[in-house]
Amino acid sequence: MAKAPKSVTIRTYHVGFGDCFLVSFEYGPKSERHVLIDFGSTGFPKGVPKTRMMDIALDIKKRSGGKLHAVIATHRHRDHISGFATAKGGKGTGDVIRSLKPDLVVQPWTEDPKLGTKATGPAGGSNGKIKKFGAGTVEHISALALMHEVADHARSARNLPREMRNEVGFLGESNLANPSAVKNLMNMAEKKSYVFCGSKSGLEQVLPGVKVDVLGPPTVKQTDTIKKQRSSDPSEFWQFQAGATRLAVPAGDTMPALFPRHLESRGPSLPVNARWLAYHARTIRGEQLLGIVRMLDQQMNNTSTILLFQIGKKKLLFPGDAQIENWQFALNQKKYQTLLSSVNLYKVGHHGSRNATPKSLWKLFKNKSDKKTANRLLSLMSTMEGKHGDAHSHTEVPRATLVHELEHESDLFTTQQLKGKKEFFHDTVVKF
């Protein structure tokens, strides 16, 4: 086998709202190494067969020749790991992936099973000793563990205003525990690597000639920003400035009705003079629940791995769902700024959301171009419109302003381009 790969093929699977990428490094004729990055979904467009996840699992088996060399689960969200779930009789999609006997599983440091309630940081080194990463680590890990229970309660909440019901349900479902998928990832390979910014990935051992830099997530000691979530940051998020007040009406729009969602009586149980109070009580409860599940969602995204693959002069960036709090630690360091400036292929973060491709990151990419050139930045985005957020509040996924930049400054492929029942993947080839 050659000392370094000659090319790489990234197979982007259409998993609806989720991520699944099979990265195949070609070293020579009939000599490849295969890495699976995420395998999950929280929903498909209408008309997609119910067997689609199994179709993808079987295609991964076929394309890899029955052997995976590594599996990377960027973080625990359902839209990234649900495909690793097993089933009775060994007939689950996760059973198919496990049968490919990966040599290594890579996950963020927060997934290390050695991190018990008394842990102070991620395990490190071949001796398995626990490194101390500062006060706050235990609380952070405990909070992540409790998120799933809170998410389940939020998901089953009733009597919410209609405009909040779908988002609460979606975010709640995404944050469910996925116990069989988590257990399968823990046990499917002999070697495990739980990574954090600056740590070794372990991937070089199975990918000769490939250098991998871990840019995230940071540990709590490295930065406590991963414990916080910004509601808005115009300098980093892909959003327009909102009007001066919530009542500001964009040009071309009409003024909304004064009481568009008043509660209508459906029986004698609710007095007329209590309807306004009942509706607003439900609205307040809905806003509180929505705030909670959004916070859970952002916290888990900020544990996402950020991996930069280097092969010769080519660089491939896979940041999972990392958001600004996760990114900030790496972006503030000159050595990582230099590495990121020459990225050739970018897997768009968090399905194209407004705060997972910081503008400071986008500005670093020197291979952006509004013209078709040989070295123009390649970008891959796995997403599905209408599943998360809305355009009115500038939170839609994928974010329109970001998509515009991706289309005009890079060669963008999005899974929404895949149409039909049989068309469920796209190959991107990068030669070295």
Q: If we measure between CA atoms, which residue out of 93, 53, 23, 107 comes closest to residue 300?
A: 107
Render pLDDT for 388-417 as a digit per residue (tens, 0 to 9): 777 877 778 899 999 999 999 999 999 999
Rounded to the nearest 5 percent, the helix, strand and coil shares of the chain are: 35, 15, 50
Domain assignment present for residue 396? The answer is yes
User: For residue 49, what are the contacts with CB-CB under 8 A and spacing of at least 6?
Assistant: 55, 421
Q: Is residue 284 a part of any domain in this protein? A: no
pLDDT, average across residues 65-85 = 94
Do the domain assignments include residue 260?
Answer: no
Within a domain: 307: yes
Q: What is the CATH number of the domain that holds 120?
A: 3.60.15.10
Q: Are 7 and 24 in contact (CB under 8 A)?
A: no
Q: Greater confidence, 405 or 146?
A: 405
Q: Is residue 243 situated within a structural domain?
A: no
Cα–Cα–Cα angle for 175, 148, 356, nearest 5°? 35
Element (H, E) at 63: helix 52-63
Q: By residue range, what is the domain housing residue 167?
A: 7-238+294-431
pLDDT digits (tens, 9 = 90+) for 220-230: 778 766 555 55
Mean pLDDT along residues 135-147: 52
pLDDT of residue 234: 57
Assess if residue 245 is contained within a domain: no
Lowest mean pLDDT across 34-48, 70-84, 112-126, 254-268 = 254-268
Sheet containing 411-414, strands listed edge to edge, beginning at the edge strand earlier in sequence? 211-216, 306-311, 314-318, 345-347, 378-381, 411-414
Answer yes or no: is 228 within a domain: yes
What does the chain come to in residues?
Answer: 432
Number of domains in the chain: 1
Residue 97 lies in a domain: yes
Closest among 359, 380, 353, 422 to 77, alpha carbons compared: 353
